[in-house]
Structure 1
């Protein structure tokens, strides 16, 4: 984890840019969609049929 932070800091300083959290960008949303698809496929391989439905924002754990 520390190694990843050092690489990020290096690139931020080298490019003179502000840090941007990739999870807040489209890339983060795409990786979440890919992860959900992968998880669904894993359940199907185990013999389960699943339907992924997002929870309303008010029900998310604190």
Structure 2
């Protein structure tokens, strides 16, 4: 029982959980920016690659 209480106390006061949440939020923010950019610029980038490969 003491081990369980000690584990709960360490988890409540530890920074690992907070850091994981921060990394998750950062990843979500990056995805919110990258996904629309790929949708918007994807066809233009694909055409650019097609033009470059076709020039050889």
Normalised by the shorter chain, which TM-score bucket? Answer: 0.3 to 0.5
Using the size of structure 1 for normalisation, the TM-score is 0.40
Higher helix share: 2
Larger Rg: 2
TM-score normalised by length of structure 2: 0.43
